[in-house]
Amino acid sequence: MTTSDDVAALTARVIELEAERGVLAALTRYAHAIDYGDESAWVDTFTPDGVFEVHSRFSDQVTTYAGHEQLALYAAQHSRPPALWHKHLVVEPIVSVTGATSRCLSYVVAFIDSDGTAAVKLFGRYRDRLSRGADGVWRFSHRLGEIEAVSPNMPMLPFTRPYKPWVTPPAPTASASRVGLPAFDWVDAGDGT
């Protein structure tokens, strides 16, 4: 290998690491913004046409918010301190970057303040598609949250503020997986993209 080959290989590795770091920063910005009620920062973690979708293995309901306007409505309704303290922890991310797009699979655990005691409210996973914007910032083009377990007798996270109806699309057509969630491959998100 020549010195120029070494430099090219090192440059490619640095570019890949910077992209992965940018994707992880998007996951972190999302959690900090939603947990402290920074509505505009949370909406800015999505592309203008970005989609936030939630599936639960306990319900056939699919909750979808598409575009900044609907995402802003969701953020405006979401609980926040001091009315309700919670933390969304995203762990074990698997990141795959191809140019200016990325896929990420991660676990999520949401802790909630239950009368002054920290308690696990739910756990599940996120299946994400992200895009790097012209400003170099990675944003979600599609974030699918899959709720796998929920602690009973605790307030639901999103709507401890005044309730507004969720936007509910038709039932998904994907086949059900063994845990009761629609079957999606984290690499292609079930839609071939």
pLDDT, one tens digit per residue, over 80-92 is: 888 888 999 999 9
Domain carrying residue 11: 3-150
Please give the model's pTM, rounded to 2 decimal places: 0.79
Which region among 56-65, 71-80, 150-159 has the lowest average model confidence (pLDDT)?
150-159
Whether residue 180 is contained in a domain is answered as no
* Over residues 127-141, mean pLDDT: 97
Is 37 within 8 Å of 80 (Cβ atoms)?
A: yes
Whether residue 46 is contained in a domain is answered as yes
Give me the helices (H) in 51-186, please: 67-77
CA–CA separation, 186 vs 125, rounded Å? 11
Instruction: State the CATH number of the domain containing residue 63.
Output: 3.10.450.50
Whether residue 107 is contained in a domain is answered as yes
Q: Is the pLDDT of residue 140 over 90?
A: yes
Whether residue 116 is contained in a domain is answered as yes
Whether residue 43 is contained in a domain is answered as yes
Whether residue 163 is contained in a domain is answered as no
Whether residue 87 is contained in a domain is answered as yes
Tell me which of 129 and 185 has the higher pLDDT: 129
CA distances to 68, 88, 128, 187 from 103, rounded to whole Å, are 21, 20, 5, 7
Whether residue 170 is contained in a domain is answered as no
| pLDDT tens-digit readout, 14-36 | 999 999 999 999 999 999 999 99
- Counted domains in the chain: 1
Q: Is the pLDDT of residue 177 over 90?
A: no
